Structures are given as structure tokens and as C-alpha cells.
Structure 1
Amino acid sequence: MTSAVLARRRSYHVGNVRSQLSSAARGLLESEGASGLSLRAIARRTGVALGTVYYHYADKNALLSGLAVEGFHDLAEAMREATDAREGISGLRAAGLAYLDFVRRRPAVYGLMYEIRDASRRPEVVEAEEAAFAEMVRAVAFDFGGRSPAAPRQVAQAIWACARGIAALAIARGQPGGLDAQTVDEAVRGLEILVANP
């Protein structure tokens, strides 16, 4: 057993093992992609016994779903914080920029989120996406709350679809983290123009 593994085992604590496993899984996802992610690889990286990893994740699908749920929660938090901290900009712009910044910073996680969401439709992943989408609706409501009651949700749906499209293009072109600031800014400004001039 290597000294690095022994050191990790000494740092292991029952209370934080789930977060250690999750952190290792995210690291493997970013460096190796989903194909290089396995319960054994996580056990090796953390120095945690394989049986303990299986205690927290029944199989690889459960692991991937857990990562997708965490990703949607992190996306929701990023949009919530950006919306609450906005100064002199619209809710649409604050949440839209936060969404696309999340894609730029965490492309592998974002790709996994929608791979799991669209392919498996696991209830916990669907619910996590709905919670993130609710933050977009809340942000847009600051700008369009005075219109019909349905307007914030309808505008948020359009933004959600557009943001997914921008992300999909970036990922398909082989540079998922390559969303440059100018492209993001132009996309958000375009959305603002569209929704402000129906």
C-alpha cells in the first residue's frame, strides 16, 4: 500500500466520507470523463474500502445520478446568488450569466447532468433540474412579474432552452469550457432584446 493511500486513509472520517467520495468522483469526471469513473477508481483515489463506496453508491448509475443531482443543486445556487447580488442589471441577465458561467467552469459536470437527465429520467435528477429551473423563473419574475402570471415561466423556458443550446454547441465543438465572455455576453443581450420586444 502506498504512502499516499495510507495518508488518505488516516484522513478518512466517517462523518465526511460521502463528501470525500463525491469530491473524488468529480475530480475523476473532470480528468478522465464519465468512462473513467468507477466505484473502484473512487476507492483507489480516496483510500476508502470498496465496500464503503458501495455502501454510499449501489452502482455506477447511482453514482452518476448523485453527481448530476449535485450539479443541478450547484447550478441553482449559482443562479440564486447571482440574482440576489445583482446591482443595476436584470434578473434575466444575472441568472443567464451565472448559468453560462457554470457551463464554462464545469463542462464535464454540466454534460453529465443532462446526459443523465435526458437518458434515464431518474426522479431525483428530474426534481433537481426542476429546482434549478425554478431559480431561473424567480430571476425572470423580477423583470416580467408585471405581465401575465404565466410570463415569467414562459420567458424562463425560452432562456433555459437557449442556454442549453449554447452549451450543447460548445460541447459538440470539442471545447466545452471554451465559451468566451463575448459570446456569452452577446447571447444574453440577444435574449434581453428578444423578450423586451415581443
Structure 2
Amino acid sequence: MPERPYHHGRLRTVLLDEAQRVLREKGVDGLSLRDLAREAGVSHAAPRWHFPDRQALLDALAEAGFERLATGARSVLDHNEHDSKAKLHAVASAYLEFAIRDAALLELMFTARKTAPSPGLLEASDRLFGTTREIIEAAQQDNTLPAGDPERLQTLFVATLQGIAAFAISGRTTEETAKELLRDVVVLFSLPDK
């Protein structure tokens, strides 16, 4: 058995880190609790203390992905200049970078599910979409974006980002072109400058 790469109490973190590595290299089909246990140097039953089944592991991975995106969006909201277009572009850029770096994780986060999502997964997803909705609402208040249902506009914005990301991931467009498209999206969504 390999030397244990974790300290007592950190097994869940070690398993998630290893699962993210496997997800990047082999995709979701390459994930196995037994293989993760072997890599962590623990018994094949040890991961079950944290992940009762494979779906629980997948939910935890998706939750971590939503948390990372939500943290990035929150950072844009809290630390970016007051220019709404700049905030929209920054959050769109962060989304694209995440999508390209962690394409399999993004797919896992938005894949149709056979079971109900875990409460943690729902909360992490809600944090991301709540923060992006705040950015949309602020842009509507300063007349950068048109008035209307902010949730509907947010859905349209995120779906557009998802489409651009899918094109970049699949090779239908280059990463540089995808970045240019993001700038175009922000311009197209914005009201004309007065």
C-alpha cells in the first residue's frame, strides 16, 4: 500500500483532491471509490465513511465546483470596480477559464441527474446563481442591463456562457476567440451608453 498522503481527519479532502485529478485525466467514468482508496493508501471501505456511494462522491465534486465558481463570482462582486460591464466581463471570463480548465467537472455540475441532489450541492449551486443574480440586478439598477426579470436575464447570460465554453472545450473555436466572444456577449447584453 502507498504511504498515506493524509493526516488523520483529512481523508475526505484527500479523496476529493484525488477525485478531481482523476476527473481531469479520465473523466467521470474513470472515478472509482476503490481506486481512490488505493491511491490514498487506505482500505477500500474507508471512503465510505465520507461517501456512502459513488453518487455521493460525484455530488461532492459538483458541490466543490459550484463553490469555486461562487467564490470567483463573489470576488468579482466584492473587489471589482463599480463598472457593471467590467463585472459582467470578469465573471464571464472566470466562468470560461473554469470551464476550459475543468471541463469534466463543469459537465458533472450541469449533467441531468438520476437522483435528487444533495442539500450541500443545492446550497452551493444557489450561492453561485445568487451571486450572479446580484451582479445582474446591480447592472440593471445602473442601467447597464435592460430592466426585466433578473432571473430570466441571468439564465440567458449563463446559458450563453455555457455555449461559448462548450465551443471552446470541443475545439469548435479557439480559447482566444471564446474570450473575444465573451466581450461581445457583454456588449450585446448591455444597453447602449448614454
With normalisation by structure 2, the TM-score equals 0.83
1:159 correspondence with 2:153: no
Once the 2 structures are TM-superposed, how far is the Cα of residue 44 of structure 1 from its aligned partner? Answer: 1.2
Q: State the alpha-carbon separation in 2 of the partners of residues 191 and 149 from structure 1.
A: 15
Q: State the alpha-carbon separation in 2 of the partners of residues 112 and 179 from structure 1.
A: 23
Q: State the alpha-carbon separation in 2 of the partners of residues 194 and 28 from structure 1.
A: 37
1:71–1:113 contact (8 Å) kept in structure 2 = yes
Q: Secondary structure at the match of 1:122?
A: coil
Q: State the alpha-carbon separation in 2 of the partners of residues 152 and 94 from structure 1.
A: 18
1:14 correspondence with 2:12: no
Once the 2 structures are TM-superposed, how far is the Cα of residue 76 of structure 1 from its aligned partner? Answer: 0.6
In the alignment, structure 2 segments of 5+ residues that lack a partner are none
**Match for 2:185: what amino acid?**
G
Instruction: Name the counterpart of 1:92.
Output: 88
Distance 1:179 1:113, change over 3 A: farther
Superposed counterparts of 1:55-70, under 5 Å: 55-70=49-64
Once the 2 structures are TM-superposed, how far is the Cα of residue 60 of structure 1 from its aligned partner? Answer: 0.8
User: Over residues 51-71 of structure 1, what are the superposed CA-to-partner deviations in whole Å (9 max), with x where a residue is unaligned?
Assistant: 211111111111111101111
Instruction: Name the counterpart of 2:139.
Output: 143
Once the 2 structures are TM-superposed, how far is the Cα of residue 151 of structure 1 from its aligned partner? Answer: 4.4
Once the 2 structures are TM-superposed, how far is the Cα of residue 96 of structure 1 from its aligned partner? Answer: 1.4
Candidates 59, 80, 83, aligned match of 2:77: 83
**Match for 1:152: what amino acid?**
P
Q: Secondary structure at the match of 2:10?
A: helix
With normalisation by structure 1, the TM-score equals 0.81
Q: Secondary structure at the match of 1:15?
A: coil
Candidates 167, 190, 193, aligned match of 2:185: 190
2:165–2:178 contact (8 Å) kept in structure 1 = no
Once the 2 structures are TM-superposed, how far is the Cα of residue 163 of structure 1 from its aligned partner? Answer: 1.2
| Larger mean Cα displacement after TM superposition, 39-48 or 80-89 | 80-89
Q: Secondary structure at the match of 1:70?
A: helix
**Match for 1:137: what amino acid?**
R
Q: State the alpha-carbon separation in 1 of the partners of residues 64 and 132 from structure 2.
A: 17
Q: State the alpha-carbon separation in 2 of the partners of residues 179 and 83 from structure 1.
A: 28
Instruction: Name the counterpart of 1:131.
Output: 127
Identity of aligned residues (%): 29
Instruction: Name the counterpart of 2:21.
Output: 27
Q: State the alpha-carbon separation in 1 of the partners of residues 77 and 101 from structure 2.
A: 18
In the alignment, structure 1 segments of 5+ residues that lack a partner are none
Q: State the alpha-carbon separation in 1 of the partners of residues 149 and 190 from structure 2.
A: 10
Distance 1:48 1:188, change over 3 A: farther
Candidates 149, 155, 169, aligned match of 2:167: 169
| Structure with the higher fraction of residues in helix conformation | 1
Once the 2 structures are TM-superposed, how far is the Cα of residue 182 of structure 1 from its aligned partner? Answer: 3.3
Distance 1:179 1:45, change over 3 A: farther
